[in-house]
């Protein structure tokens, strides 16, 4: 969700210029990596919690504190991962890295990097104003936007049920207004689970939902890292931000808390 663009004031991180319509089918083989969230707690061997900017404050003027393995903010419930954002003031004595935020949430990052292949994250989104759920990928190391960013799904609560798929790179990013992506309306995004999917290949990135692509970008400038840095493994990120330049564009509904991002499963098939 372009968390490295701290100084930017933006109205939208999405794009509509690479729309597509084509079938997307997960491989029939067992996934290379999967979390069905059927345990009792978040699997710490699979996920880590990103809390790095709690004290300084998160990017894009977001308003949340990301808690480390705190059940109020991240837990397994009825066979799903629940990331819950809450309106609360924390105790600095108990949370030394608290930066004064008025909201708490969680951000999970896969410990294992992934690369080319097929991804599927089955999720139900929060539609409350001020929420900003995201399923996305970043590599380890490098400077944004040159490092590249793949946004499988973003949605802002004030524009509920409209999901966004977006790519950012050195040449194509929201700082320049050149980001590449598309959007799609899913009327039940906040009341039912849907499969958010990514097919990542050396020559193309296709993103869709429920077996149907709605965005496709091809590697039409081979060898140009500014256009296509997507040639190394990235880490998968699951988070629910609060407010920010885009998520908080129309304010935050404090009466709507707590709000939840629920994830039924994460599956990844590595490309042969």
Catalytic residue among 62, 84, 128, 149: 149
Tally Cβ neighbours within 10 Å of residue 183.
19
- From the list 54, 57, 83, the residue with the least C-alpha distance to 69 is 83
Q: Do residues 78 and 117 touch, judged by C-beta distance below 8 A? A: no
CA–CA gap between residue 71 and residue 94 (Å, rounded)? 15
Residue 36 annotated to the active site: no
- Those residues with Cβ within 8 angstroms of residue 86's Cβ, 6 or more apart along the chain or in another chain: 72, 73, 103, 104, 105, 257, 258
Catalytic residue among 62, 84, 128, 154: 154
Residue 88 annotated to the active site: no
- From the list 252, 133, 121, the residue with the least C-alpha distance to 193 is 121
CA–CA gap between residue 124 and residue 247 (Å, rounded)? 17
* Residue 143: burial class (beta carbons within 10 Å; 0-12, 13-18, 19+): exposed
Q: Which residues are catalytic?
A: 149, 154
């Amino acid at each position: 969700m372009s968390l490295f663009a701290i100084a930017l004031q933006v109205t939208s991180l999405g794009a509509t210029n690479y729309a597509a319509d084509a079938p997307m089918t997960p491989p029939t083989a067992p996934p290379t990596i999967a979390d069905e969230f059927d345990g009792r707690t978040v699997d710490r061997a699979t996920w880590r919690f990103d809390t790095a900017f709690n004290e300084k404050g998160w990017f894009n003027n977001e308003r949340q504190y990301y808690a480390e393995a705190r059940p109020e903010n991240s837990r397994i419930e009825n066979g799903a991962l629940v990331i819950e954002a809450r309106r609360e003031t924390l105790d600095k004595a108990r949370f030394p890295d608290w930066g004064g935020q008025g909201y708490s949430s969680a951000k999970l990052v896969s410990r294992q990097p992934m690369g080319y292949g097929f991804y599927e994250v089955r999720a139900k989104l929060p539609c409350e104003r001020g929420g900003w759920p995201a399923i996305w990928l970043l590599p380890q190391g490098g400077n944004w936007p040159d490092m590249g960013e793949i946004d499988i799904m973003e949605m802002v609560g004030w524009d509920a049920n409209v999901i966004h798929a977006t790519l950012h790179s050195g040449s194509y990013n929201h700082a320049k207004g050149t980001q590449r992506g598309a959007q799609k309306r899913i009327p039940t995004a906040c009341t039912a689970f849907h499969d958010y999917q990514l097919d990542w290949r050396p020559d193309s990135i296709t993103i869709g939902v429920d077996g149907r692509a709605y965005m496709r970008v091809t590697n039409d400038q081979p060898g140009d890292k500014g256009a296509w840095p997507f040639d190394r493994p990235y880490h998968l990120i699951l988070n629910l931000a609060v407010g920010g330049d885009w998520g908080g564009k129309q304010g935050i509904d404090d009466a709507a808390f707590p709000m939840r991002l629920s994830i039924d499963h994460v599956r990844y098939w590595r490309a042969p």
